[in-house]
Structure formats: C-alpha cells, structure tokens
Amino acid sequence: MKSMESQPPSIAQGRKAEATRSALLTAARVVIARDGYTNSKIGDIAREAGKSVGVFYSYFKDKTELFSALVDAFQDDLKRLTPAPQDYEENTAPAIKAAVAAFWATYRQFHPEMLGLLETAFADDRLLKVWQSIRKRGIRRFAFRIRKQQEKGKCSSLDPELSASALMGMLEFTCFNWHSRRLDYPDAEPNDTKAVEALYQMIAHVLELEPDRVAVRSNRSSAKAKRAR
C-alpha cells in the first residue's frame, strides 16, 4: 500500500480532509449523546475531535449543517440495511418485517441525533426540511406498498397517502418513544425482538399481508416431521 507521502498531493490532501471531517462527525455524535443537541457547543465538538474551532468552520458553516450531515448518515445506514425492491416482490411480508427491523435498529443507533431533530426541527427551517425528507421517504414507500396491495384486492378502503403518513408516524414515534425511555416505559429497556414484532404485526394487519411463505413451509415441514414420528 502506498504511503501518504508517496501519493499525489491532491489525493493525500483529499484523504486528510475526509479523515478530519469524519473525526468532527464522530466527535459531534459523542457530544450530542452526552449533552443533547441543544446544549452541545461547537467548541466542545472541536475539542472532542482534537481540532480547533477554526478547523470546524473549514468543514461546516454552523452546527445545523453538521447536524444535517449526521442525519444524512442515518438515512445512508437505513438505505444500506433496508431490503432491495425485488425482495418485496418475491416475498413481501418478510421484506417488510426486515425493513421495520432496519428502521428500529438504525433509530436506536442514531437516537441522540433523532431526539435532537425532533426537539429543534420546528424552530429551525433547515432541520425541519431534513426531518421532512426522512418522513417523505418512508411515506413514499408505504404508499407504494399500499397501492401494490390494492392491485391484489387488499386494503381497498385505504387512502394510500394518508394511510402511509399515519403508518410512518406510528413507526417513527414508537421508535422515539421506546428508545428514549422517557414516556411509556421509563424504567424498561425495550426488547428488540418484541418491539419489531409488535410494529410489524400492526403494519401487516393494515396492509393485509399474507403470512410469510417461508414460515408456512417451515411449519408444514415441522408438522410432517411430527407425524412421521
């Protein structure tokens, strides 16, 4: 592997800049998790990263711009973990359950950032647009799935857009509620498996999903094995 010194200056500088930006984002996550978004200070973030405040402003215009970059990371992780479009067509139910699990896990990982987003979005138009972009992506996916189900004669009474907004609201706020442990269950750590199952079952009921075909085959195989004994 070539050393930094042997690389062209532009490549070496680009990698150094990328490393510095990454260090600032990582430091911001630490400070926000510790102090909350509202109370976090640029000086504290720079200090946590081992950089000067001047370096911070070389990469981000202000705290809001940095925070937007953190939320972009949330969306990137969510996209990476969410099933591919063809997975939904091949076996819809398990793909939707996997998508719910991906949202739950990513929300847990980025909970301090999402908490900060919910706390400040209505006071900052830029952050409100960031939040809206997250919701729009989820609403678009739910609305598409409702229409696909309606093509099969399912959930015919639902308005795709309104129902999608409601489903996204349920998913998003439940993740916020249970991960924050400030509202319904202040003294309880949410069980990941039970939480994902509860959310999935409600969504599956609304969408009138058919049972997981893999699970059905597995159950039938188990029944045959028992009879053979």
Band (pLDDT 50/70/90 cuts) for residue 222 is: very low
pLDDT recorded at residue 213: 52
153 assigned to some structural domain: yes
pLDDT value for 28: 94
Both 73 and 182 in a single domain? yes
Q: How many domains does the chain contain in total?
A: 2
Do residue 133 and residue 46 come from a single domain? Answer: no
Host domain of residue 92: 63-228
CA distance readout (Å), 88 to 80, 158, 185, 201, 204:
15, 20, 33, 16, 13
Same domain, 54 and 70: no
How far apart, in whole angstroms, are the C-alpha atoms of residue 71 and residue 41? 18
Q: What are the tens digits of pLDDT across the range 126-163? A: 899 989 999 999 999 999 999 999 999 999 999 999 99
Enter the pTM of the model.
Answer: 0.80
Given a cut of 70, whether residue 3 has pLDDT beyond it is no
Task: Examine the domain organization and report whether 212 and 117 are in the same domain.
Answer: yes
Residue 172 has pLDDT above 50, yes or no: yes
- The last residue of a domain, from among 45, 60, 75: 60
Residue 111 lies in a domain: yes
Do residues 121 and 87 share a domain?
yes
219: domain CATH number is 1.10.357.10
Q: Where does the pLDDT of residue 182 fall: very low under 50, low under 70, confident under 90, or very high at 90 and above?
A: confident
In a domain, 219, yes or no: yes
Whether 10 shows a pLDDT value over 50: the answer reads: yes
CB 64 within 8 A of CB 124: yes
Does 175 share its domain with 216? Answer: yes
Residues 51, 157 within the same domain: no
Indicate whether 12 and 91 sit together in one domain.
no
Same domain, 94 and 113: yes
Q: How confident is the model at residue 9 (pLDDT cuts 50, 70, 90)?
A: low
Say if residue 196 is in the same domain as residue 98: yes
Q: What is the pLDDT of residues 13-65, one digit of tens each?
A: 778 888 999 999 999 999 999 998 889 999 999 999 999 999 999 999 999 99
Q: Give domain status of residue 142, yes or no.
A: yes
Question: DSSP assignment, residue 82?
Answer: S
Class of residue 104 by CB neighbours under 10 A (exposed 0-12, middle 13-18, buried 19+): buried
pLDDT (0 to 100) of residue 155: 94
Is residue 166 scored above 60 in pLDDT?
A: yes
Residues 54 and 80 in one domain: no
